[in-house]
């Protein structure tokens, strides 16, 4: 207790006794503030007062400690008093079930541990033997699977090789495409070279000249035979191309809905294209009955009569002539020329957008004359004006030069080289570069002559690892897969070697130093050749900068 005075009026004080209760608990801190100038701390009033007591509910409450009993488990062993009865005077105890125990040999702790160690060694021997047997069996199974896989792969390769030879033989026997005729002329050139060498080595004088003349005549007959096959193939290819063109005209409009389903819609133009496709396919069909042929001609006549022009009038006149000749029982073989004329005029009819509106967007020659002045160049060989897509421009070319037809004609007459294998390698390379999705550009500047130079002069037409020379099995891939493909960042390998090469992360660890130096020498030769081309020089400098940056990293 202590006393204090408080101010009651303006000039009077009153003594008051203040009782201080010391709390038995720690006051909770409820906030406050500190005077910056004096540093005195002031707490909120709630922390300076005694908390209110809870109201008494008349129920006696106990704390947790009084409600919880601490338990403790302790093991104890009680006494058990036993006794043993022995034989004595007046008492007999049977010893039939007793055992006679004699003391054994005493052994020390060292002997005991030694015995345990020997037992452990025996267990380890048997376990290791079992484990080794399992490993050997596993290796044998892996070897068996590997040999079976290699045999299967060898069989597949053999089948692919036989299938390839069969396709090549079929192409040479029944050529249909430009690549097939390239192979024929290439084989003819190889055969001429072998025969010429044989004649020069075995014959001399007049006999040699006579043999060379006979060889020249045989070559002329073979070229004429190839020309006949080419004419037949062109007729068949034109027919297929026309059917393909009319098929596109007859295709309905298609679009993909929000739910992923494809919706098709036939328009008036597509129905017109489908009608013309059916008429053309029926007109080209041979060996049809006379009544069906007459009905077909009448249908065609009604179709072309919808548009009056000089072409339709000529078609109608030819149709009337054929119907008249058929009514006079003229033989079928004598009507072939007339029917061919009708088909030719029908082709001209379906290619006119006024009669077949869907064909307007599929023709190579644009209907607008102003478009003919764009990307049209003169071929200095055949003197024809052709679009830029008809000119194969090598990477080292500075002018337009000759068109594809002139290049092909010159190749068939003089060099007779087969670009099919190089074209196959270039197509596979471009497909592989598309999968990288890094904006590769150089691969699309490379043309067939450039690819031929790279393969023949730089890589010697063989794999850099296995030296295989079959171009059908070779592919070109990136030497460093992190950089864009280029003639100075490439390697020629087989398909299996290329797959393994692209999985490598560190080329310096995977290949030996002499092999890497040889590859770099080939890249330097490619750089020297393509650095003369203005378009390639910019890519060359960019590749060098990128390679320097990678080596710095």
Q: What residues contact residue 1 under an 8 Å CB cut-off, 6+ apart?
A: 17, 18, 19, 20
Q: Can you tell me which residue has the tokens 């597509």?
A: 270
- Give the pLDDT of residue 214: 92
Better-predicted residue by pLDDT, 374 or 121: 121
Lowest mean pLDDT among 223-237, 300-314, 367-381, 480-494: 367-381
pLDDT confidence band for 553 (50 / 70 / 90): very low
Residue 446 CB-density burial (10 A; 0-12 exposed, 13-18 middle, 19+ buried): buried
Comparing CA positions, the residue from 226, 144, 243 lying closest to residue 189 is 226
Residue 351, token pair as written in the block:
């290619």
On the CB side of 495, CA atoms within 13 Å amount to 9
Rounded average pLDDT over 353-361: 84
Parallel, antiparallel or unpaired: strands 32-34 and 41-43: antiparallel
- Give the pLDDT of residue 552: 42
Residue 525, token pair as written in the block:
């030769």
Helix axes 336-350, 205-250, angle to 10 degrees: 50
Q: Would the pLDDT of 549 be above 80? A: no
- Give the pLDDT of residue 23: 64
Tell me what percent of the chain is helix, strand and coil, each rounded to the nearest 5. 60, 10, 35
Comparing CA positions, the residue from 32, 34, 59, 57 lying closest to residue 46 is 32
- Give the pLDDT of residue 534: 64
Residue 512, token pair as written in the block:
């030996």
CA 171 to chain centre: 29
Going by the DSSP 8-state scheme, the letter that residue 54 receives in this structure is P
Rounded average pLDDT over 364-374: 66
Task: Mark residue 437 as left, alpha or beta (left: phi above 0; alpha: psi -120 to 50; beta: remaining).
Answer: left
- Give the pLDDT of residue 235: 87
- What mean pLDDT, rounded, does the chain reach? 83
Helix axes 268-284, 336-350, angle to 10 degrees: 160
Residue 520: CB atoms within 10 A of its CB come to 12
Q: What residues contact residue 338 under an 8 Å CB cut-off, 6+ apart?
A: 318, 321, 322, 325
- Give the pLDDT of residue 60: 78
Q: pLDDT tens digits, residue range 26-72?
A: 666 777 888 888 888 887 765 445 667 777 777 877 666 555 667 88
Strand partners for 15: 5
pLDDT confidence band for 382 (50 / 70 / 90): confident
Q: pLDDT tens digits, residue range 135-157?
A: 999 999 999 999 999 999 899 98
Lowest mean pLDDT among 16-25, 115-124, 197-206: 16-25
Sign of CA dihedral 422, 425, 431, 433: negative
């Amino acid at each position: 207790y202590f006393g204090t005075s408080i101010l009651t009026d303006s000039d009077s004080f009153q003594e008051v006794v203040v009782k201080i209760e010391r709390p038995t608990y720690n006051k909770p801190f409820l906030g406050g503030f500190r005077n910056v100038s004096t540093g005195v701390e002031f707490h909120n009033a709630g922390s300076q007062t005694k908390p209110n007591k809870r109201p008494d509910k008349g129920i006696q409450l106990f704390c947790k400690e009084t409600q919880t009993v601490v338990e403790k488990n302790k093991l104890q062993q009680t006494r058990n008093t036993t006794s043993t009865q022995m034989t004595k005077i007046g008492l007999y105890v049977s010893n039939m079930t007793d055992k006679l125990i004699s003391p054994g040999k005493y052994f020390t702790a060292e002997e005991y541990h030694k015995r345990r160690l020997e037992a452990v060694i025996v267990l380890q021997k048997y376990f290791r033997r079992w484990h080794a047997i399992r490993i050997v069996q596993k290796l044998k199974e892996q070897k068996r699977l590997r040999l079976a896989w290699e045999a299967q792969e060898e069989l597949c390769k053999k089948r692919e090789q036989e299938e390839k030879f069969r396709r090549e033989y079929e192409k040479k026997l029944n050529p249909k495409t430009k690549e097939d005729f390239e192979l024929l002329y290439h084989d003819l050139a190889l055969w001429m070279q072998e025969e010429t060498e044989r004649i020069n080595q075995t014959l001399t004088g007049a006999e040699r000249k006579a043999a060379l003349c006979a060889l020249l005549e045989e070559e002329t007959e073979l070229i004429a035979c190839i020309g006949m096959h080419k004419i037949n193939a062109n007729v068949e290819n034109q027919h297929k191309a026309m059917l393909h063109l009319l098929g596109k005209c007859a295709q309905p409009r298609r679009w993909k809905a929000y739910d992923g389903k494809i919706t098709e819609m036939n328009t008036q133009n597509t129905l017109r294209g489908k009608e013309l496709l059916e008429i053309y396919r029926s007109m080209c069909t041979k060996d049809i009955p006379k009544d069906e042929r007459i009905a077909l001609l009448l249908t065609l006549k009604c179709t072309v009569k919808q548009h009056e022009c000089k072409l339709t009038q000529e078609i109608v006149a030819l149709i009337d002539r054929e119907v008249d000749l058929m009514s006079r029982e003229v033989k079928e073989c004598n009507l072939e020329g007339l029917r061919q004329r009708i088909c030719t005029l029908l082709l001209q009819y379906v290619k006119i957008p006024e009669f077949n509106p869907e064909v307007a967007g599929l023709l190579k020659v644009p209907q607008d004359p102003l478009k003919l002045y764009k990307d049209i160049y003169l071929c200095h060989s055949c003197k024809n004006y052709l679009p830029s897509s008809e000119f194969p421009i090598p990477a080292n070319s500075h002018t337009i030069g000759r068109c594809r037809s002139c290049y092909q004609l010159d190749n068939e007459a003089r060099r007779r080289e087969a670009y099919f294998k190089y074209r196959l390698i270039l197509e596979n390379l471009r497909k592989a570069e598309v999968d990288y999705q890094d904006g590769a550009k150089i691969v699309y500047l490379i043309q067939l002559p450039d690819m031929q130079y790279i393969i023949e002069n730089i890589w010697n037409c063989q794999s850099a690892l296995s030296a295989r020379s079959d171009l059908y099995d070779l592919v070109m891939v990136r030497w460093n897969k992190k950089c864009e493909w280029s003639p100075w960042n490439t390697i020629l390998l087989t398909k299996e070697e290329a797959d393994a090469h692209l999985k490598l992360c560190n080329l310096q660890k995977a290949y030996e130093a002499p092999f890497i130096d040889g590859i770099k020498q080939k890249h330097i030769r490619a750089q020297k050749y393509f650095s003369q081309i203005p378009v390639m020089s910019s890519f060359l400098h960019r590749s060098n900068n990128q390679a320097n940056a990678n080596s710095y990293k």
